Chains A and B, each alone.
Chain A
């Protein structure tokens, strides 16, 4: 069972805004950064958001990350067909492990 909890799926129509939640605990998200990764079928994950709310160069500003307490969120605004992918959150846990969410499939 994944340590971080994400909804298995979210869906939206083009142009809509969708939000993916990532719930953790004091020992991970509550004390450390949240990262988000985007993975297309058959491909490697790609960094989407780092240090809670920072976007690597090349990531559109339609993707926004936030953190509050022991939860993180990823919002995708102006949803596009090309955003259809799986999204994973991750954090460092004080048990000295990297922990991931189970992944959320976004359907447009």
Chain B
């Protein structure tokens, strides 16, 4: 079974940095685009970023571009999200998700890790 497990969430202050990780298993990690998607409390889903199989290409949502960086280590089967210059409105549950082959859209999701940014 495909499994994705996020870690690294917690409490940060405005302007600080935090790094999230996502461990993948049950599939060939290096064969898939991967995503970070977030959900603020009581709100809808917001796509954050995605990264190509070999890490050579990545795209970002407007609200995080220039502050967040997505990366991956296929040998370790890990996906990362480096979050800098955190803002209060970055408070959300962050999900990692595998992309359906050839479509850029998520198929399998992790359980999420919560990030709270205080002022």
Contacts and interface: CB of A to CB of B under 8 A. Distances in A.
Nearest to A33: B103
B100 A50 contact: yes
User: Chain B's interface: helix, strand, loop or mixed, by majority?
Assistant: strand
Interface stretch (B17-25, B41-49, B77-85): B41-49
Contacts of B112: 44
Interface size range on A against B: 20 to 34
A50 B95 contact: no
Contacts of B107: 47, 50, 56
A100 B47 contact: yes
User: Chain A's interface: helix, strand, loop or mixed, by majority?
Assistant: strand
B105 interface: yes
A61 to B, nearest CB: 19
Given A35-B106, A44-B110, A44-B111, A98 B44 contact: no
Contact of B104 (A2, A45, A98): A98
Contacts of B106: 35, 37, 45, 47, 90, 98
19 contacts: A2-B44, A35-B100, A35-B103, A44-B111, A44-B112, A45-B95, A47-B109, A88-B45, A90-B47, A90-B105, A91-B105, A97-B62, A98-B37, A98-B104, A98-B105, A98-B106, A100-B45, A101-B44, A102-B44
Interface of B: 35, 37, 44-47, 50, 59, 61-62, 95, 100, 103-112
